[in-house]
Structure 1
Amino acid sequence: MFEPSTTMAIAGLIGLGIVALTVLTLWQGWLRLKLTELERHSDRYHRAEPEHPLSVTRIEMADVKERLRKLEAIAAGVDL
């Protein structure tokens, strides 16, 4: 029916098509993942400001000062 070289060529083309389709599907999935990451990242910066930004800043500063105090105590060798 077909010569062996023709059969091998057809099988090779079919295999190449399968590999190309798989790579294309993976590429589209990766692009979709990156798009989702970018949307999440941009949502983080487009949120509404808190009602009391000054109080939030004070709470954050108090937390940083407490962490600094603990780190200094650890560096000095004092058990808390």
Structure 2
Amino acid sequence: MTDPNFYLTMASAALAGLGMMTFAVLTGWRGWLALKHQELQQQSGGDLHQERSLPNASARIEIADLKERIRKLEAIAAGVDL
């Protein structure tokens, strides 16, 4: 058991096994990512890399203002004093 070739053989076998396991896990991870990418494309119904523009701050403020006006008009229509 003190033979250095034994330890060298065991270390190389362990390293080869670790490499094969790492390759298998990486292949599975890439497959899972491809599946999720495909699901997202199906849900969005189009190109996944398409730019989706979010409303800027002034548009959000305007929408909030309009919601507040609607709330006030509904309160007036219901006969509630503000």
Counterpart residue number, 2:20: 22
Runs of 4 or more, structure 1, over 2 Å off, are none
Q: CA deviation at 1:6?
A: 1.2
In the alignment, which residue of structure 1 is the partner of 2:43?
Answer: 45
The alignment yields a C-alpha RMSD, in angstroms, of: 1.7
Aligned to 1:39, the other structure's residue is in SS state: helix
TM-score by length of structure 1 reads: 0.53
Identical aligned residues as a percent? 4
What number of residue pairs does the alignment pair up? 46
- Partners in 1 of 2:41 and 2:18 — Cα distance? 35
Gaps of 5+ in 2: 47-82
- Paired amino acid for 1:24: T
Post-superposition CA distance 1:30-63 (Å, at most 9, x none): 0000000000111111015xxxxxxxxxxxxxxx
Structure with greater helix share of residues: 1
Q: What SS does structure 2 have at the residue aligned with 1:15?
A: helix
TM-score for the superposition, normalised by structure 2: 0.52
